[in-house]
Each structure stands twice: as structure tokens, then as C-alpha cells.
Amino acid sequence: MRFIRINMSSQEIRVEPVPSQYLGLGGRGLISLYINDHVPPTCDPLGPDNILLFAPGLLGGTQLVNTSRIAVGAKSPLTGTIKESNAGGTFGDAAGRLGITAIIIEGRANQDQSWLLKVDLEGEARLVQANEYKGMRTYALAEALFKSYGSHNAIMCIGPAGEQMLHAASIQSTDTKRRPCRAAGRGGLGAVMGSKGLKAIVLDSGGRATDAIADPEAFEKAAKDFARAVRNNPFSGDVMPKFGTAGLVAPVNSMGGFPSYNATKGVFEGWEKISGEHMAELMAKRGGKTGSQGCSKCAIQCSNEFVDAGGKYVTSSLEYETIWSMGGMPGIDDLDTIAKLDFLCDDLGIDTMSTGVGVAVAMDAGYKSFGDGQAAIDMVEEIAKGTELGRVLGNGPEAVGKYFNHPRVPVVKGQSISGYDPRAMQGNAVTYATSPMGADHTAGNVVAEYVTGKLDPLKTEGQVAASRRHQILMAVVDSIGLCVLASHVLSTPEGRQAFIRAINAKLGVALELTSLTELGIRILKAERAFNRKAGFTKKDDRLPRFFYEEPLPPHNTVVQISDEDMDKTFEF
């Protein structure tokens, strides 16, 4: 239980015990409360006053399955709000095993300097000059760092986009195959890392200093029950291992909620060619992989390795949100092109979702035609070259809309929506509009309520309450370090009970479900408090006008949640 605090201005490193007010917190909860307490809300996100945090979840480093997420947070240059974005891979588990509660990056190095942070097996942290890695793309960087420091490490790093401080830059995280293909993609946190002069963090992944568990026996039993619940769940145990998140392409199109051609249609004509089922078939033929492991401690195996027609590695892991943003949005129905775009974004260190949506906005503005895959690849390559268009695209869809003077830009608080159109899923309209993070696919996705028939996606009734429930739940899930795909078992009694028992055994407490709800509310309140101080009001909790005015085929509906109802979302 310790903070590793790095001042990039002076290169001073301090290791401190966790202050009492942050004990029992992890991941998003810790980050959001810390930022609200310590970051000046009106500061320049790319200036020395912003603080960048890396925090494993509360159960990171324990044996509980699917709890190896690493949460990253700061004030976002993309949204201007508080921001937490989390990634899979091996870093969260490595941090937990080293007994790290958070790595806190303050200040800013001289702009001609680049550094990397190395934490060894004993937990000793040191800054190393990294000028030789300047400008390097993430795959080459990861390879060089594993060569220098050994394969028993976990890495988070930025690519050229982060170094250029582009507002949609990601922080890439290495997976179990040592590829930097997992991303804390949202909110431009890569730009914050770049502004600090920090190119990479390298953690030894073999630590044995996980924070003590109060009741190890009870924890072990709860962990076994939770793992069983994850494996027995039809979504996490059946659909995800075979098709990964790409398994969502078919149902979301069938529901008419797959924003396509820059969110002008709800069904993409070529969706069967980019579906998870088609990808699995293609990979079986070509010798690629589905159902592979990307993250430490994973009981689901949702990852894939996409190979080309010659069997050569292209990217990992091709996920639903990227297939949507690089497929449906720019009208590209070719998985090979989408896979190339995914790799390119990971390699440059930029968010696939913001970038794909930016390309779609440019196409909608007439810059290129929808469906032109080569044009999309060329546009993303501009980011690497640092050209004018590359910088515009790298700053996210809102910047692209302004550049081309095009009004149809599907963002909230500057961040693009995800692959669920708010006009076809009214509850996701509420989440996009009101989330303190800007539009976000993991902030409180209501889709499960529709699929299970609990809620009609096209009616207004019940949507605000559903969004509220899911936003509270996700604040908790992101604080524990739990993967969103495993979190769906929390809707079952056995999954929920095992999860609460694991937390209680870890902390030596006797919390009820309501205590977790209270934690979620506390986190959301802190995030909203920060945003208020940064100048955000309820008028910012709105979608762009076109979502209220342009009906989306095939249902031909618009967002119907009133402003008054949107404002009730956080009436806790």
C-alpha cells in the first residue's frame, strides 16, 4: 500500500504510505478522489499542474480472476473534464503484485527530455533517460524495452501521438504476448504522459508484495466461486471466448443501433462481413487465433490475433468498438483494412474510436468517400507524419468537424460516442450525455437491459434510472479493477455474492451491496464536483443537436429524453 510519486520537473521520486483518506480505494475511485482533491480544476491539462495517475484496482495483484485492469487518470485534454480510462494487459497485475496503490506523475520535464520509469522486483523506482526512444512507435519501443529489461516486465507507453500531445493520444499497455496492443484509449491521456516527458513505465511483473488479504481462506473460496460464475455465464463463458467483443456486431446491427456512415444509419449494409462470426471463421482458415488470452488472470479469453491471408500477424485484439469506429462509421466493410487501421492506431498510440469517428466526420464532410479504406489508412498515417491534417485528426472528431466546418460530429464533451446509437438505445443517450467522462462505452452501457427484455430501447420510460444504475455500477467495477466483460456476472446472485465476499475478505469488513452503491455514488459525486469547478454545467450534459433532430433509420427515432430528465440522472 504505497504511492510512488514522481516529480518530472525535478526528477525526484518519493515512496509514501497511502494517506488514510484513500485507504480501501483503488482504480477509478482512488484516481477520481485524488484528482478532485489535488488537481487545480481549471489547469492546462498539458501543463505542469495536471497530475497523471496509474492505479491498479483494489483487487489487482490478488488471485481473483479478471481483476488486472489498470486505471489511468488526469484532467483530460480532449474533454476538459476529469478522466479515468482503463486498460487490460499485464500492467495492472504487475502493479498490484508490487504493492503499488498508485504511481503519481507530477510536474513536467524539460521539453527536450524524454524519460522512462523503471520499477524493479524490490519495488525500487528510478527514472532513466529515454531520449533514444523519442519518436518511436509502440511496437518497436516495446520490443526494445523487453530486450533491455527482460520479458518479465509489463509496460505502459506512448507513441508519436502522445509525444505530439495530440488530444486523442492513448497509453498502450502490453499484453501476455508482450505486444503493446491494449489501450487506455479514451480522453487523450497519452498526451498528458507526453506533456510530462514520460515515454514509458516498465514494471517487473514478478512481484510478491501484494497487499495483505485480511481473510485469505474466505478470499480463496470467494475467488473460486466468482471464477465459476464467470465461466458459467453465457456471455462471458460462451460468446466472449469464441467471438470476443466482435460478437456484438451482429446483435447491435440487428437492433438497428450500429451508428454507420457517420451516424446517419443504424444498420451497416456490410455488417455480416465484419461480424465476430465472420472473423472467427476467417481466423480459423488463416491460422489466426480467437479465444486467446490478452490479460493476466483472465478466465474469459476474449482476445484474438488477426492474421492476413498469408498467415502473418496484423493486430491484436480486434475489438467491437474498433470494428465499429473503423468499419461502420467510415463505411468500410473489409476486416483486413480495419485490422490494419487498428494496428496503426496502436502503433502510433492513438485512440481507435476517436480516430475512426474523426475519419468518418471527414468523409461525411466530403473530404473522401465513405468506404474508401485506403483513404482511411492514408489519413491515419498523416498522424505519424505530423502534418496539418494528421494533427487535426489526432485531436479528435470535434477538431475534425471544426476543420472541415462540418456540423454532424457525434461527441459529448468533446469525446466520441461508441458503437451504440443513442437514438436506437435511449438509455445510452442518457449515459453519453451525463457521464462525467464525456461520451463513453464503459461508463454505463444499458444494452444488456434491452437484450434481456427488461427495457424497451426506443421508449423513454426507465432509461434515466437504468443509466444511473449502470453508471454507479461501473464506477465500482472500475475501482475494483474488474474487467467489464466479467462484470456482467454481477447481475446474477451467485456472481454478486462471490464478488462482495471477495471484497469483504480482502478488507476484513462486512459490506453489503448497498455499501458498494454508496462507493459508486461517492466516486461520481467527486467527478462531478471536479467538472463543476472546471466550469461544466448541466448544459454540457446534452447530446449534439443532430441526435435530437435527425431520425436514425431503420427505427427513424431521435433522442427523446428531455433535458429535465437528463438532469435527474444524478439525483441520488
Partner 1 sequence: MHGALKCYWTFFRDATRLRSVGKEILMRVQIKLFSVLRDYVSDYDPQKGVTADLSAGATVSDMLSHLGIPMSKVPVVICNGRILQATDTIQPDSTLHIFQPVAGG
Q: Please state the closest distance from residue 251 (CB atom) to partner 1, in A.
A: 5
With CB under 8 A as the contact rule, which of the stretches 38-46, 79-87, 253-261, 377-385 interacts with partner 1?
Answer: 253-261
Site string for partner 1, 402-421 (x = CB under 8 A): ------------------x-
Q: 480 vs 485, which CB is nearer to partner 1?
A: 485
Q: Is 302 in the site for partner 1 (CB under 8 A)?
A: yes
Q: Is 250 in the site for partner 1 (CB under 8 A)?
A: yes
With CB under 8 A as the contact rule, which of the stretches 54-62, 136-144, 248-256, 325-333 interacts with partner 1?
Answer: 248-256
C-alpha cell at 429: 443517450
What's the Rg (C-alpha) of the chain? 22
Return the residue of 141, 248, 282, 359 that touches partner 1, per CB under 8 A: 248
Q: What is the DSSP letter of 541?
A: S
Q: Is 388 in the site for partner 1 (CB under 8 A)?
A: no
With CB under 8 A as the contact rule, which of the stretches 25-33, 399-407, 437-445, 497-505 interacts with partner 1?
Answer: 437-445
- Sheet order of strands, 182-184 included: 125-129, 115-119, 198-204, 153-157, 171-173, 182-184
C-alpha cell at 491: 447481475
> How far is Cα 314 from Cα 334, in angstroms, rounded to an integer?
14
If you write DSSP's letter for every residue of 398-427 in order, what string do you get? HHHHHHTT-----EETTEE--SS-TTT-HH
Q: Please state the closest distance from residue 194 (CB atom) to partner 1, in A.
A: 28
Return the residue of 30, 447, 477, 505 that touches partner 1, per CB under 8 A: 447
Site string for partner 1, 464-493 (x = CB under 8 A): --------------------xx--x-----
Say how many CA atoms lie within 13 Å of 170 toward its Cβ.
27
Pairing mode, if any, of strands 2-7 and 100-106?
parallel
Q: Is 462 in the site for partner 1 (CB under 8 A)?
A: no
**Interaction with partner 1 in 271-300: which residues (CB under 8 A)?**
272, 275-278, 281
C-alpha cell at 194: 507526453
Q: Is 69 in the site for partner 1 (CB under 8 A)?
A: no
Return the residue of 139, 146, 235, 261 that touches partner 1, per CB under 8 A: 235
Instruction: Give yes or no for a contact between 500 and 511, defined as CB atoms under 8 angstroms apart.
Output: yes
Q: Please state the closest distance from residue 285 (CB atom) to partner 1, in A.
A: 13
**Interaction with partner 1 in 529-568: which residues (CB under 8 A)?**
554-555
C-alpha cell at 25: 480505494
Chain centroid, CA 275 distance in Å: 21
Return the residue of 441, 501, 522, 528 that touches partner 1, per CB under 8 A: 441
Q: Is 83 in the site for partner 1 (CB under 8 A)?
A: no
Q: Is 86 in the site for partner 1 (CB under 8 A)?
A: no
- Sheet order of strands, 52-56 included: 12-17, 2-7, 100-106, 52-56, 70-75, 82-87
Which residues are CB-contacts of 198 (< 8 A; sequence separation ≥ 6)? 6, 8, 52, 105, 109, 114, 115, 116, 117, 158
Return the residue of 22, 133, 226, 243 that touches partner 1, per CB under 8 A: 243
Burial of residue 529 (CB within 10 Å: 0-12, 13-18, 19+) is middle
Residues contributing to the site for partner 1 (CB under 8 A) = 234-235, 238-240, 242-243, 245, 247-248, 250-251, 254-256, 266-267, 272, 275-278, 281, 302, 319-320, 420, 424, 441-442, 445, 447-448, 450-453, 484-485, 488, 554-555
